[in-house]
Amino acid sequence: MTEATLEHARLQELVAPFADGELPPDAARLVQEHLRTCARCRRELALQQELARALSWEPVARPSDDLRRRIEQIGQPSPLREPFRWNTRWMAAAAAALVAIGASVGTLLRERRGSFDRPVAQIPMFRDAIADCHRAMARNFPRKADLQAVGEGLQFPIPTLDQPDAELFSTWKTTLAGSPAAGLAYHWRGIVVVQYVVPTELIRRPPEVRQALRGSGFFAASEQGQGILAFLAHGSGTLLVANAPLEELKRLM
Amino acid sequence: MSAQAKRARFQSLTLPHLNRMVALASRWADGHEAEDYVQEAYARAWVAFGQLRDPDAAFPWLCQILRAVASERRRTHARRQDLLFIGELDAAHEEMVASDAPSPLDDLLARLEVGRLREALRSIPDEFAEAVELHDVHGLKYREIAKITSVPIGTVMSRISRGRQLLAGLLAVAGETRAKRGVAS
C-alpha cells in the first residue's frame, strides 16, 4: 500500500466529522487540502452532508398532553398521604378505590395466619408486591394491557381473572422476591384489583403460605375491609391485592 | 433545598427536553410504549436528581437514563429490525463514491416518503443507527453522544461515518430492487 493510499484511508475517516464541523482546525485543514485532489472523498463528503440534512428534516414524535401532565406530577408528595392526580384515562371511582388501596396496603398485610408469627409484610414476596403496587400507583399504571408482551420470556402461564366484569387495563413485568412476575390491574365493580402472577415455587416458598395452601387452598390476610389472597391456578401462583373484603375478593379466585 | 424547590429545579432542567426525549424514545418503541419509556426515565431521573452535577448536561444525562430504560425493557423483546447483509450495503456505497457518474442519492432521497429515512435507519446495525440518529435527527454534538453511549469520541466519529455509508448503501439497494420490480411488472 503506498503512502498516498494510507493517507487517503486516514483522511477519509475524517470526512464525516469534517462535514459535521466536529474537527479541530488543524485536522479540518488537512481534510480540506485532501478534498482538493480526491474526487472520491468529495463524493463521500456530499453523501454525508446530504444524508445528515435529509435526516434533520425527518419528522419526530411529540409528547402527548397526558404524558406532559404525568411528568409534571413527578416529585409531588406521595399519593399515600395526599390525594393523587389521576391519569385522565381513569374513571373517578376507580381512582378513589385505588387511593384506598394505597392507604391501606401497608397495614393490611399485618394479618397473621396459621401457626406462624412473623408479620406478613416481612415475607419478601408480599413486601415486594406492596412496593411494586406503590410504584405502579405512583406512575398511574402507565402500561396498557398487553398480555402477549407481558408473558414474553416468562416460564409460567399468565392466567387472567375469570370474571366477565373484571376489566384488565394495565399489565407490566416486575420482580417479586427475586423472581420474575407479571402485574395485572383490573377495574372490577368500581374498585381496582391488582393481580401478581408468579411461579408456583415462589408462592409455595413461605412456610405460612405453604401451610395455608395445603389446608384451605389459599392464603388470605385482611384488615379493615382490605384483602390479599394468594393461591395457585392454571400452573401459576396468583396474589390479589384490593380494597375489598376477603369474602368479596374470593369471588375472583 | 426544600422539596418544593428541588421539584421546581428538576422541572426547569428536565421539562424543556421532553419533546426530544419522546422523539428519541420512538427509536425503540411506538406511541404509548415510547411515552412509558420516557415517563420511567423521568421517574428515575427524579430519584437520581442529586447526581446531576452540570445543569447544562441535563439532556445527555436524561438520554443515558432513557437508554438504560429502553435496554431493560427490550431485553425480553426480539429486535424487530431485519438486518440486511452488510457486505451488500458496503458494495452499494462503494459504487456510489467510486464512480464518476452523478450520485443517485439525490434522486433516491427525493423519491423517499417523509419518515421513511428514519425508518430505514432501523435496518442498519443499532450502534451505527443510534449515533447517526442522535447527531442528525436530535442535533447532539459528538462529545455528548460519546457521553451518552459511553464510547470514545473517535468511535462516535467512525460510527456516524459508517452509519451514513450503510444508510446510503441501503437506499441504493432498495432503489435498485424497486427498479427491478418495475421492469419486471
Q: What is the pLDDT of residues A6-28, one digit of tens each?
A: 778 888 889 999 999 999 999 99
Q: Does pLDDT of A104 surpass 60?
A: no
What residue type is B148 in one-letter code?
A: I
CB–CB contact A152 B35 (8 Å): no
A64 touches chain B (CB under 8 A): yes
Which cell numbers hold the place of B3? Answer: 422539596
Residues on chain A touching B157 (C-beta within 8 angstroms): 13-14, 16-17, 22
Which cell numbers hold the place of B54? Answer: 452540570
Reported confidence tier of residue A125, pLDDT bands at 50, 70, 90: confident
Q: Does pLDDT of A167 surpass 70?
A: yes
Q: Does pLDDT of B128 surpass 90?
A: yes
Q: Which residue has the higher pLDDT, A117 or A231?
A: A231
Residue indicated by cell numbers 405453604: A210
- Count of CA atoms in the C-beta half-sphere (13 A) of B38: 32
Q: What pTM did the predictor assign?
A: 0.56
Give the highest mean pLDDT range of A2-6, A12-16, A225-229, A249-253: A12-16
- Is the Cβ–Cβ distance between B131 and B141 less than 8 Å? no
Q: Does pLDDT of B152 surpass 80?
A: yes
A147 touches chain B (CB under 8 A): no
A85 Cα to chain B: minimum distance (Å): 15
Helix (H, G, I), strand (E, B) or coil at A180: strand
Mean pLDDT for all residues in chain B: 85
What was the pLDDT predicted at A12?
87
Share of chain A above pLDDT 90, in %: 20
Question: B29 — phi, psi (to 5°)?
Answer: -155, 165
Q: Which residue has the higher pLDDT, B135 or A143?
A: B135
